[in-house]
Amino acid sequence: MKNAATYDAITSERFSTRKRVRLATTRSLRPEGGPGQGKPDPAKALGSKKILLIIESEGSVFDSLSLMHQKAYIPAFSGCFSLGADPSYASMLWRRLALFSRLRGQEPLVILQAALWILNRNYPSVRRGAVLRSLESFLGSSGKDKKFLAESNQGSPERLLLDWITMAETLIKEEGYASCFENAEKFLQELSLSAPGVELLVHSILPENQALNEWEMAGLGNCFLRIAGSERGDFASYLRSALNNGYETCPMLVIGTTGRAWQAAESVGSRFYPIVPEAEEESWRLFSEEYFPAFLRGESYRLNLDRNPFMSMMVEDLDSWLSV
């Protein structure tokens, strides 16, 4: 059965490579006051106002989402589930779902469910359909224990699903840490001087010790107050935990690149700034030069992000491009 919540947000443009885009806010901020007044002194504008800044690590600070899917999940999906379909179509399908749709940042099994459903609609396969039914049953089970898959007969849909999981995990282990976006690194390194009142929290989908090591290896180990790994719950839980532990009166701003981060920010009433896929450096430049100073002055509402490509990605429809 089609899962509308999973499938309703892919773009109508069929699998084209998303071009790098130059982001633009609706208009540049102008200093308040009468004619002749100059641009506000940055030191006075930023000051030491206490706010809470929460950043999504993967895809926002580090180029890890793209690396993980390009090097592991895309070849694993094409290799295991093409089954008579055009392998290049299967690869483009996964890339589109995993990096340029509302599913960006979702767990791979959820992306797999959507990818199998679309691929099987365009290239029907009895075997792939059986795998999809097994996956839906597995996703609905408590604990999602891979031992259940391993106990199935060789050649069964469950074993094919396990083969895909194993192949992807093996390929991921072969990759090192992803690179840090240069403008993200610059902003984070300068944050304590430009806005000393800001407290920075980080959320990662990696285990906490691995996430901490990634930030330290990038020279960013002194840039944050706390870092939370996968064992501390999802992004929304992390935001609620912050609000329940002394930050409920602080202005809050979330920086993220996935629908999960955006929805988490919405759930607690926080402002959200998107890091746009394949325009990460430009996103960070605009954030550092325009949005963040405006936020600290209480003027971020003047910068309209409604036409930002990220917001379009969150609401675009899948059904208009399902057919081959």
Q: Which of 26-40, 98-112, 189-203, 252-266 has the lowest mean pLDDT?
A: 26-40
The band of 42, judged by pLDDT with boundaries at 50, 70 and 90, is very low
For 54, the 3-state DSSP assignment is strand
Separation of first and last alpha carbons in the chain: 20
Residue at which a domain ends, from 144, 176, 208: 176
> Is there a single domain that holds both residue 97 and residue 198?
no
Does 14 or 258 have the greater pLDDT score?
258
| 4 in any annotated domain | no
Given this model, what pLDDT does residue 37 score? 40
> Is there a single domain that holds both residue 167 and residue 192?
no
The pair phi, psi for residue 240, each rounded to 5°, is: -65, -35
> Is there a single domain that holds both residue 189 and residue 56?
yes
| 26 in any annotated domain | no
3-state secondary structure 229-257: CHHHCCHHHHHHHHHHHHHCCCCEEEEEC
> Is there a single domain that holds both residue 206 and residue 249?
yes
> Is there a single domain that holds both residue 183 and residue 171?
no
Q: Which of 7-21, 118-132, 254-268, 288-302 has the lowest mean pLDDT?
A: 7-21
| 87 in any annotated domain | yes
> Is there a single domain that holds both residue 184 and residue 287?
yes
> Is there a single domain that holds both residue 89 and residue 150?
yes
Tell me: pLDDT of 46 over 80.
no
Cα–Cα nearest to 165, from 142, 129, 130, 138: 138
Tell me: pLDDT of 95 over 90.
yes
The DSSP output letter for 180 is: B
Tell me which residue range forms the domain holding 137.
65-176
| 14 in any annotated domain | no
Sheet holding 198-203, edge to edge: 226-228, 198-203, 51-56, 252-256, 271-274
> Is there a single domain that holds both residue 231 and residue 248?
yes
For 301, the 3-state DSSP assignment is helix
> Is there a single domain that holds both residue 193 and residue 294?
yes
> Is there a single domain that holds both residue 217 and residue 229?
yes
Tell me: pLDDT of 25 over 50.
no
> Is there a single domain that holds both residue 200 and residue 56?
yes
Alpha carbon distances (Å) from 286 to 129, 280, 317: 45, 10, 28
Residue at which a domain ends, from 176, 203, 233: 176
Given this model, what pLDDT does residue 235 score? 93
**Percentage, residues of the chain above pLDDT 70:** 81
| 205 in any annotated domain | yes
Residue at which a domain ends, from 176, 206, 228: 176
Residues 24 and 285: their CA atoms lie apart, in Å, by 11
Output the average pLDDT for the chain.
Answer: 82
Long-range CB contacts (within 8 A, 24+) of 79-84: 79/167, 80/160, 80/163, 80/164, 80/167, 81/115, 81/116, 81/119, 81/128, 81/131, 81/160, 81/164, 83/123, 83/125, 83/127, 83/128, 84/123, 84/125
Task: List pLDDT tens digits, range 169-214.
Answer: 999 888 778 999 999 999 999 998 989 889 999 999 999 999 999 9
The band of 307, judged by pLDDT with boundaries at 50, 70 and 90, is low
Given this model, what pLDDT does residue 220 score? 95
The band of 243, judged by pLDDT with boundaries at 50, 70 and 90, is confident
Tell me: pLDDT of 165 over 90.
yes
| 117 in any annotated domain | yes
Query: What six digits make up the tokens of 164?
Result: 């895909």
CATH number at residue 187: 3.40.50.1000
| 277 in any annotated domain | yes
Tell me: pLDDT of 313 over 80.
yes
Given this model, what pLDDT does residue 8 score? 34
Domain count, the chain: 2
Given this model, what pLDDT does residue 272 score? 94
Rounded mean pLDDT, 150-167: 91
Q: What is the pTM of this model?
A: 0.80
| 295 in any annotated domain | yes
> Is there a single domain that holds both residue 150 and residue 108?
yes
Tell me: pLDDT of 300 over 70.
yes
